[in-house]
Amino acid sequence: MPELIRVGRDEDRDTYHLNMGPQHPSTHGVLRLRLHLKGEVILSADPIVGYSHRAHEKMAENRNYIQFLPNTSRMDYLSGMIYNVGYCQAIEKIIGLEVPERAEYIRVICCELNRISSHLLWYGTLLMDLGGFTPFLYCFEDRERILDILDLVSGSRLTYCYGRFGGVTEDVDDKFLSETLAFCKHLRNRLPEYDDLVTNNVIFQNRCKGIGHIDKKTCHEFAVTGPCQRAAGEKRDVRRDEPYGIYDRFDFKVPTRTGGDCFDRFMVRVEEISESLSIVEQAISKLPVGPVMAPKVPRKIAPAKGEYYFAVESARGHFGMYIVSNGTEIPERMHFRTPSFSNLATMRRVLKGSTISDTVAILGSIDIVLPEIDR
Amino acid sequence: MEMISDVYRGFRSLLKGMGVTIRHFFRKPVTVEYPRERAVVSKVQRNAIVLIEKDDIGSHNCIACLQCEKICPSNCISITGSRKDGLAFKRPDTFDLNFALCSECGLCLDVCPTDTLGYSKQYDKAGYSREDFFYDLLDQWKATEETALGTLREIERKKKEEREARRKADAEAKAKAKENDDGDEKA
């Protein structure tokens, strides 16, 4: 039998193989972890992906650049807005299209709201994996408000197709702005409540502290990005290091920790929520008036022959788009560098020596989205 | 001694957490009792596309240019159209939408030259088979199609008259200018 399929007790009857997933609620999708166990301790772990492969990259080779827009938000369905807008920004940069100021600000507001909603969902599901159901409901209540706000402008709740080459589809109205500001205030009041309920909870701290160390060296070797990398002490953020769009105009901190364990990753994300809130508030206070769509968008989008790379910071880390154009309307090749894939790859090293119950916490803390890994 | 402080800390954090949940007891529910109450749908809610009424025509203004059919990434629109007597543009004979394939990207609305595509407001459609999501968009316009054609012909006729009048005026103006020029030359 091929090594990856074999499960059950080994011949020496001392160790055994166990499949965790693909239909396991705490693997956040269809991830299969093949664990080699001795008792409760993991000797080796193989993450096996590909169960929700939908060939987005191949689809890109069979349609023109505009038609690929709905695919982008379906790769990472939790931060679809960031992917969608990121793809638009990539194409705009390639063909040299100027985006109106107002559209840029709206994009930042929507992307940061989407980042918060993604982090809130992660917060809830991590806590649910650890056995706390109440925080999950509170997080979803807050996340629901974000989805409603984004629904006001983009017309969808999860898989947004809001960005267009040269701007966005809809202008924001006063209702959107007032509700966003009200939400920011509401969530700021809610965060201390979350701290009382979760962060300061001794059981939670004991569950998370000191497990799942991803250190700087591992980050470098596996190209770990996003909150996982920042929790290891690396101050890296695409928004800060190579600002795309108008991110250089905002004043925000890049939260970092030094330990690199589950609790540090948790704290980094919680701090990121309040940083994103401050970006949203700054963007609303500076929001200029004007059009939300570039006046002249070429009907045919055919970038010059060549290879292009563009990266944005998604809720999970460095999301890169590698686009090869052959000068026609249809791309020659499109490849996406998605953060969860690299973050998950570390599991082979990180899970070694930990226990099954910790595996759930570690997997939850790296915040993987399987459709984004498989694409 | 350490154990006692641990127990104390643990109890305190637990009670604090419970305080949060107890406060939530007295807050308003955030859910909507769906069949009895209905959620307010956003103005720009994306949904199945419909042909929207144009005030001057009293019907939709689809000219069967097939742009939406061409741009649709999931090929869920299929249109056939033909020329009608007295009309400058085509008129659709069939306009079928396979909503099961639609991903609500809104690209068809963007390319529509007459802005006659819009989103349906009905958000809780359900069905038992694939065929339940094959929509015929012309269904609701069938009854008024004849009058709409009449209105369109009327509009077309008026436009034509206007065009001709303009052409006449232009020609007259030109002739006058020429006359003036001639006069200038003579003088």
Residue B99 sits in a domain whose CATH number is: 3.30.70.3270
Q: Residue B174 pLDDT > 60, yes or no?
A: yes
| Chain B residues close to A106, C-beta within 8 Å | none
CA of B78, closest CA in chain A: separation in Å? 17
**Nearest C-alpha of chain A: how many angstroms from B119?**
10
Number of H helices and E strands in chain B, helices first, is 4, 5
What's the CATH code of the domain at A217? 1.10.645.10
Residue A2 lies in a domain: no
A79 burial (CB, 10 Å; 0-12 / 13-18 / 19+) is buried
Residues of A with CB under 8 A from a CB of B: 63, 66-71, 74, 134, 138, 141, 144, 148, 151-156, 159, 161, 164, 169-170, 193, 196-198, 200-203
C-beta atoms of A196 and B16 within 8 A: yes
Tell if the CB–CB gap between B44 and A74 is shorter than 8 Å. Answer: no
Indicate if A291 and A151 belong to the same structural domain.
Answer: yes
Same domain, yes or no, for A18 and A71? no
Give the nearest partner residue to A152 out of B6, B42, B74, using CB atoms.
Answer: B42
* Confidence (pLDDT) at A322: 92
Over range A56-76, report the average pLDDT: 89
Shortest Cα distance, chain A CAs vs residue B48, angstroms: 12
| pLDDT tens track for B102-159 | 888 888 888 888 888 888 888 778 889 888 888 888 888 888 877 878 888 888 888 8
**What's the whole-model pTM score?**
0.87
Q: Residue B104 and residue A66: Cβ atoms within 8 Å?
A: no
More confident: A119 or A21: A119
- CB–CB of A276/A187 below 8 Å? no
Number of domains chain A is built from: 2
pLDDT one-digit tens code per residue, A263-286 = 999 999 999 999 999 999 999 998
* ipTM value greater than 0.90: no
Q: Is residue B116 situated within a structural domain?
A: yes
Give the DSSP H or E segment for B51: strand B49-51
Give, as one character, the DSSP assignment of residue B46. Answer: -
Q: Is residue A231 part of a domain?
A: yes
The boundaries of the domain holding residue A35 are 8-48
Cα–Cα dist B23/B167, whole Å: 77
Q: CB distance A197–B17 less than 8 Å?
A: yes
pLDDT at B183: 65
Which one is predicted more confidently, A2 or A323? Answer: A323
Asked if residue A283 belongs to a domain, the reply is: yes
Contacts of A74 in chain B (CB under 8 A): 103
> How close does chain A come to B76, measured CA to CA in Å?
13
Which of A72, A139, A202 is the mutation pick for testing B, counting most B CBs within 10 A? A202
Instruction: Tell whether A38 and A92 lie within a shared domain.
Output: no
Q: Inter-chain contact B44–A154, Cβ cutoff 8 Å? A: yes
Asked if residue A216 is part of any domain, the answer here is yes
pLDDT average, residue stretch B68-79: 89
Question: Bridge-partner residues for A355, per DSSP?
Answer: A41
pLDDT band at A1 (very low <50, low <70, confident <90, very high): very low
Task: Give dist(CA B48, CA A323) in Å, integer.
Answer: 32
A197 closest CB neighbour out of B10, B20, B104? B20
Is the pLDDT at A50 greater than 50, yes or no?
yes
| A78 and A20, same domain (yes or no) | no
Residues A296-328, buried b or exposed e (16+ Cβ, 10 A)? Answer: ebeeebbbeeeebebbbbbbbbbbbbbbebeee
Q: Is residue A1 part of a domain?
A: no
Are A200 and B10 inside 8 Å of each other by CB? no
Tell me which residue range forms the domain holding B137: 49-149
Q: Is residue A95 located within the same domain as residue A28?
A: no
Most confidently modeled range among A28-37, A335-344, B168-177: A335-344
* Average pLDDT over every residue of B22-35: 85
> Closest approach of chain A CAs to the CA of B122, in angstroms?
13
- For residues A44 and A60, membership in a common domain is answered with no
- Hey, of B2, B34, B42, which one would you mutate to test binding to chain A, going by the most A CBs within 10 A of its CB? B42
Q: For A120-169, how does the pLDDT look when each residue is reduced to its tens digit (9 = 90+)?
A: 999 988 888 888 888 888 888 899 889 989 888 888 888 888 888 888 88
Same domain, A35 and A143: no
Residue of chain A with shortest Cα separation from B8? A202
pLDDT given at position A116: 92
Whether the CA torsion B128, B134, B139, B141 is positive or negative: it is positive
Number of independent structural domains in chain B = 1
For residues A38 and A169, membership in a common domain is answered with: no
Q: Is residue A237 in some structural domain? A: yes
Residues A200 and A61 placed together within one structural domain of the fold: yes
Give the tens place of pLDDT for each residue, A214-251.
888 888 899 899 898 888 888 888 888 888 888 888 88
B154 in any annotated domain: no
What is the pLDDT averaged over residues A193-207?
85
Residue B110 in domain: yes
Q: Residue A273 to residues A112, A264, A291, B30, B83: CA-CA distances in angstroms?
A: 9, 14, 29, 22, 57
A3 found inside a domain: no
Kindly state whether residues A254 and A162 are assigned to the same domain. Answer: yes
Question: Is the same domain home to A190 and A338?
Answer: yes
For chain B, the residues whose C-beta falls within 8 A of a C-beta of chain A are: 6, 9-10, 13-14, 16-17, 19-21, 24, 30, 42-46, 71-74, 103-107, 110, 119
3-state secondary structure of B42: coil
Predicted pLDDT of residue B4: 87
B17–A201 C-beta distance less than 8 A:
yes
Q: Enter the DSSP assignment of B15.
A: H
Q: Closest approach of chain B CAs to the CA of A326, in angstroms?
A: 21
A17 lies in the same domain as A139: no
Residue B142 pLDDT = 81
Residues of chain B with Cβ-Cβ distance to A196 below 8 Å are 16-17, 19-20
In single-letter form, the type of residue at position A184 comes to C
Residue A196 has its nearest CB partner, among B17, B103, B104, at B17
